[in-house]
Structure 1
């Protein structure tokens, strides 16, 4: 796969095969997504907890979430005519609403992870069919399971598949003991997924590009995964330290000021391990210092909100606003490598340049 040929997902074609990973709560909204789309990548709005950003988010979460997602998609469309996607966690209690809203707004791509999106194609019924469906998975076994189920039940195959390795930021689709296990490294996962997906491509005569994610930071990293058979990459951490990222400056500075030892694996209330930047808030949680809270809305199905020491949604919103006394930042393993805030345009140009240098050597 040649990086400079872009990425093709069905009838969608990008100039550059980079998907900006969806980052909730409120880290990747219309500001970042539209900037990435404008530069030829796929810009992605994160749906997780999006209703909490509205003034009535606590009292009217369902309606607030639909309203805010619709608004962010429309804003992104006004700024850019590029490819816009929405990232929707399957574990969201309002998953169905977020999917329906995205399809109604004819968003280009839905990326669905944080659980198995086994019923996702059912939402396309009665729509224009413009929206592409892309599951985010962690192993070849899961990729095969989704392909098999979608074909049998909906006569539909994924339009692409994102395979996310354990070096990603945020919630991870791996058990604690698998995170540092070389058998689950991205270098091992990509060829396995490509091989399994190829069987479905050949059998049903449909192209299913595999997009690699998790710990990809530089143009050199991109070159490595494309050589393994990936058609594109998903990157999130690298886009945090851009001017257009929708987080507060303090959030971006937390990345810039971090060291390699600052990224830690936490046990999230939603029942998955997560990679974050350590701080006093996390240290207090680890010490058993409970943060009293009232669950405003049971936003994630798997959240043990009755026994959790904190609300993950409120904690992440506090971080997005730069209030780290009451929150923490999710971050990929390579967050410490960031050292300045630049524009999305400059970042994309840097990645292309780094890629060219890597393949010319």
Structure 2
């Protein structure tokens, strides 16, 4: 499953396997069988809904952070109909601190569409998946492949990095997905029966061995086939830029949402904007005061606070009423 998943690749039909790809298929499949992490969404009894939830949660989010939230989510909402029956705000609340909380709204909207258009069952074709809210080309291909054994070409950041090193001799793939990378990914795809194992195996190899900063080349099952190693492990052509967090709108928005998740009643806008003293805040739920203090401790300016609150309201992650601000109903 993706650690970070670009959702921009256009779907294209598979190409005949590249010369020599059979060797890679066999070695990586055997390595994956022996070394794959025992993740719950890989279990035979998980089902398409569990896989779909994992794909939404794993976008730009590490497995370690996703695991406890995924498990809680599936216990509470074991099927799309269970989630669809709840207000969208409950999905935002249960999303917790996974980040990019609009994914929670999109997953809720997808569950509603599955109930209304597909009888409550996750659709099994790429085309039908792509029509669901929040499902882009990557996610549709991944769900089709991992949940329904469809021979779709799945390309996430881990797979791109393995392909770049193994075949292209580059330390890192291009900053954004290119048509050339998709062509290579299609050429490397095995036949239908082995497609799912290949997609999952290359993804896992990138996550555990062929990592971005400290690749464990001595553990690689295809080390002797690696073009990057053969070229002397050249340096990347660019320096990846990490995403800032401290002081950003993302941090402030996240802190505001954390307050709303803990609140059991609408929150006065002044408490979120710092214009009302915390001393007058009612104890609106377990941890509510602590989250308010955390928000105020960021020392964000008035303009940033107002911009972040407006953004939450515009994105549908919060709603305002005469009583105050709350998660969407």
Where relative contact order (Cα < 8 A, 6+ residues apart) is larger, the structure is 2
TM-score (norm 2): 0.26
User: Rg bigger for which structure?
Assistant: 2
Bigger proportion of residues as strand: 1
Bigger proportion of residues as helix: 2
TM-score (norm 1): 0.25
